[in-house]
Amino acid sequence: MPPKARPLTHDHVWTALDRLATRSGLSASGLAKRAGLDPTTFNKSKRITGDGRQRWPSTESVSKSLAATNTNIETFVELIDGTSKSGRKSVPLIGFAQAGHGGYFDDGGFPAGKGWDEVAAMAVNDEHAYALEISGDSMRPAYRDGDIIIVSPGATIRKGERVVVKTKDGEVMAKELRRRSSKSVELGSLNPSHRDRTFPAKDIEWIARIVWASQ
């Protein structure tokens, strides 16, 4: 006798959408935005109704997500089954705009506290690596709205590399490291419309290297 067909469940479909987002280097909200949907369409809070009933994604939202990521239905079925191998692992994720708020990092620039989500990303050799989701167009053309960047606090940083910097005033920015000395840090803007920045070294709380970005 042929094996009994496995029923399609609520968790199967939502997991496949999460995997589709990951495969495209996006968070669930980033996938929704790229598909032209409300950014909260695929949020975990939307998957169960207030009275505890399961809420399924609409056929239209799935179709738009496949089109936006140039994914065919056969690949989506693989994502449901978990047979598509991405070579990725989960890392903590927050929005770039949140990173300047207190409570998300310790003094060394390592992710800490609550409020982090998760996203799968290209494997990095840093157990403290984390992801930031870009919002807005202030970093174009390097990064666009919805892109995910992976940051490695433990990676060696060299001149000319892209970094995330946090000042002691709480400002967080993505820049190119131009020069770093015991007295100052010179940073180049990723957007030609924005000015370069120079800070006294004592005003920098931490600098971490960007090791990957969805493009």
The residue ranges of every structural domain in the chain are 10-81, 88-213
Query: Which pLDDT value is given to residue 6?
Result: 65
Q: Which residues pair with 89 in a beta bridge?
A: 121
Q: For 161, which DSSP code?
A: -
Nearest to 209, CA basis, from 178, 168, 172, 174: 174
Evaluate whether 20 touches 31 at the Cβ level (below 8 Å): yes
Tokens of 154: 């433990």
| Cα 67 from Cα 167, distance rounded (Å) | 40
Residue 104 amino acid letter: Y
Query: Which pLDDT value is given to residue 87?
Result: 53
Query: Which pLDDT value is given to residue 194?
Result: 92
Residue for token pair 């929704």: 32
Q: What are phi and psi of 194, to 5 degrees?
A: -110, 150
| DSSP string of 123-160, one letter each residue | --S-TT-EEEE--SSTTTTT--TT-EEEEETTS---TT
In CATH terms, the fold of domain 10-81 is: 434 Repressor (Amino-terminal Domain) (1.10.260)
Query: Which pLDDT value is given to residue 5?
Result: 56
Evaluate whether 182 touches 192 at the Cβ level (below 8 Å): no
- 63 contact partners, CB below 8 Å, separation of at least 6: none
Query: Which pLDDT value is given to residue 4?
Result: 56
pLDDT by residue, tens only, the chain of 215 residues: 545 556 788 888 998 898 888 777 788 888 999 999 999 999 888 899 888 899 999 999 999 999 988 888 888 888 887 654 555 567 899 999 889 888 889 888 988 888 888 887 766 778 889 999 998 888 988 998 888 999 999 899 999 999 999 999 999 999 999 999 999 999 999 999 999 999 999 999 999 999 988 86
Burial class (CB in 10 A: 0-12, 13-18, 19+), 85: exposed
CATH architecture of 88-213: Ribbon (2.10)
Query: Which pLDDT value is given to residue 71?
Result: 87
Q: What are phi and psi of 18, to 5 degrees?
A: -60, -40
